[in-house]
């Protein structure tokens, strides 16, 4: 693995930054201490800073001798899981991402006098829950000056440590959580003919929804439709009035996404109606579209990655049905999202309270982002 000496010299600072973020996990739009720490570090480095974007977001701006090109690098700030002591954890690696971006900021500020163009480093709140990227776009982070291309990375436990996953086209799925409420008519379990059983209706809906992927979608497409929770009734001898279900659908194709959502509603409402009941389907607003990398910048990342980890350690066919709100930014600007493998011999998945990212992976992520920077700004 080829790492610049100037990055290795930042290892102690990276460890300090990562330790702070790990010890101060905060939920989406509540990243108060996280934001303060980032702002203080950026001030010491001498950056122009925008604060309170989408409540807690921060953007560092470095203006070179010219305005263009304008390149944006982004990371997330929020923590995720709740452990048994009630403390939030950075169980997805965002602590590592912030550490990487602060290291990148420290590296590029030293080359300010040579830079022709503008660099924006974006620290984004609420990736895990509320789509903070969309709110930051609405508050103008891609303008003044207008961003030309965008880059982000994610440490990823599904890929072996020391590998890079990079692929053009769709690489992460859309996500659409939905709720279905089935209404029937409650009554005595011994007199079912006088009732409308929402449990029976809901069971029929669950089975029918499985047919969307198997019978309504081409085998050449990829999609997930599933019911993940079902609740109704509390008695051995009473038919309840309603059943509530939760589910998720995911796909790499944003057009197919709309079709699947329509089919879920059609199937659910029509089955309920045919059984004299009623079903109401609701989708959560503003959930993430599929994440799609552009070929030009995917090729650029692949080129720099070969120099760092070698061709044999680049994975060009990896995709995942997980989702990411960087997809909103890639809908607005061309760019690339990069997976940095952090999988160890003992495996812990993303979102596990045992998930950890070691400092070697942080150093590798920093090198990738710094190498992308050099492709644009250091000739």
Q: Is the pLDDT of residue 346 over 90?
A: no
Residue entry with tokens 């709720």: 179
My answer on whether 20 and 94 are in the same domain is: yes
**CATH code of 80's domain:** 3.40.630.10
Q: What is the arithmetic mean of pLDDT over 84-107? A: 88
User: Would you place residue 254 in the very low, low, confident or very high pLDDT band (cuts 50, 70, 90)?
Assistant: confident
My answer on whether 73 and 187 are in the same domain is: no
- pTM score > 0.85 for this model? yes
Q: Which residues 6+ apart lie within 8 Å of 271 measured at CB?
A: 201, 204, 205, 208, 279
Which DSSP string corresponds to 95-154?
HHHHHHHHHHHHHHHTTGGG--SEEEEEEES-TTTT-HHHHHHHTTTTTTTTP-EEEEEE
My answer on whether 145 and 223 are in the same domain is: no
Domain carrying residue 98: 5-172+290-377
Residue that finishes a domain, picked among 252, 283, 314: 283
Q: What is the pLDDT of residue 286?
A: 66
pLDDT tens digits, 119-133: 999 999 999 988 899
My answer on whether 220 and 296 are in the same domain is: no
My answer on whether 93 and 14 are in the same domain is: yes
Q: Considering Cα of 264, then 270, then 272, then 278, what sign does the dihedral take?
A: positive
My answer on whether 9 and 67 are in the same domain is: yes
My answer on whether 300 and 335 are in the same domain is: yes
Q: Kindly report the average pLDDT of the chain as a whole number.
A: 95
Q: Where is 59: in which H helix or E strand?
A: strand 57-63
**CATH code of 252's domain:** 3.30.70.360
Residue that finishes a domain, picked among 283, 303, 338: 283
Beta strands in 238-313 (DSSP E): 238-239, 242-251, 278-283, 291-293
Q: What is the arithmetic mean of pLDDT over 70-82? A: 91
Q: Is the pLDDT of residue 83 over 70?
A: no
My answer on whether 143 and 40 are in the same domain is: yes
Rounded CA gap, 150 and 136, in Å? Answer: 14
Residue that finishes a domain, picked among 232, 260, 283: 283
My answer on whether 163 and 275 are in the same domain is: no
Q: Is the pLDDT of residue 60 over 90?
A: yes
My answer on whether 225 and 124 are in the same domain is: no
My answer on whether 124 and 266 are in the same domain is: no
Rounded CA gap, 134 and 328, in Å? Answer: 6
Report the half-sphere exposure of 71 (CA within 13 A, side-chain side): 20
Q: Is the pLDDT of residue 274 over 80?
A: yes
My answer on whether 151 and 294 are in the same domain is: yes
- What does residue 116 show for φ and ψ, rounded to 5 degrees? -110, 105
pLDDT tens digits, 151-179: 999 999 999 999 999 999 999 999 999 99
Q: Is the pLDDT of residue 260 over 90?
A: yes
Selected residue with higher pLDDT from 74 and 287: 74
The domain total for the chain is 2
User: Would you place residue 307 in the very low, low, confident or very high pLDDT band (cuts 50, 70, 90)?
Assistant: very high
Residue entry with tokens 């009623």: 278
């Amino acid at each position: 693995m080829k790492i610049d000496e100037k990055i290795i010299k930042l290892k102690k600072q990276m460890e300090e930054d990562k330790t702070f973020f790990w010890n101060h996990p905060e939920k989406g739009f509540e990243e108060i201490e996280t934001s303060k720490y980032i702002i203080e570090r950026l001030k010491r480095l001498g950056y122009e800073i925008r604060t309170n974007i989408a409540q807690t977001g921060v953007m560092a701006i470095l203006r070179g001798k010219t305005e263009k090109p304008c390149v944006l690098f982004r990371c997330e700030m929020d923590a995720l899981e709740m452990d048994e002591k009630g403390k939030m954890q950075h169980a997805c690696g965002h602590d590592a991402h912030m550490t990487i971006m602060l290291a990148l900021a420290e590296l590029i500020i030293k080359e300010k006098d040579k830079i022709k163009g503008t660099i924006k480093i974006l620290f984004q709140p609420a990736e895990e829950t509320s789509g903070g990227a969309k709110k930051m776009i609405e508050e103008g982070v891609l303008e003044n000056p207008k961003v030309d291309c965008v880059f982000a990375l994610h440490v990823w436990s599904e890929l072996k440590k020391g590998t890079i996953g990079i692929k053009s086209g769709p690489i992460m799925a859309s996500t659409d959580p939905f709720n279905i409420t089935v209404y029937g008519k409650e009554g005595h379990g011994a007199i079912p003919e006088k009732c409308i059983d929402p449990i029976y209706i809901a069971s029929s809906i669950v089975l029918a929804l499985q047919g969307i992927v198997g019978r309504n979608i081409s085998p050449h497409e990829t999609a997930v439709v599933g019911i993940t929770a079902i609740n109704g009734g509390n008695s051995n001898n009473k038919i309840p009035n309603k059943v509530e279900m939760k589910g998720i659908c995911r796909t790499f194709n944003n057009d197919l996404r709309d079709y699947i959502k329509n089919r879920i509603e059609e199937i659910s409402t029509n089955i309920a109606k045919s059984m004299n009941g009623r079903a109401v389907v609701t989708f959560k607003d503003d959930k993430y579209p599929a994440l799609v990398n552009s070929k030009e910048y995917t090729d650029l990342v692949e080129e720099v990655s070969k120099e760092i980890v070698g061709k044999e350690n680049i994975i060009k066919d990896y995709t995942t049905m997980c989702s990411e709100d960087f997809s909103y930014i890639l809908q607005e600007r061309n760019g690339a999202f990069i997976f940095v493998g952090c999988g160890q011999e003992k495996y812990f998945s993303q979102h596990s309270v045992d998930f950890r990212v070691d400092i070697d992976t942080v150093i590798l992520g920093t090198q990738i982002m710094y190498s992308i920077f050099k492709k644009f700004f250091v000739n």
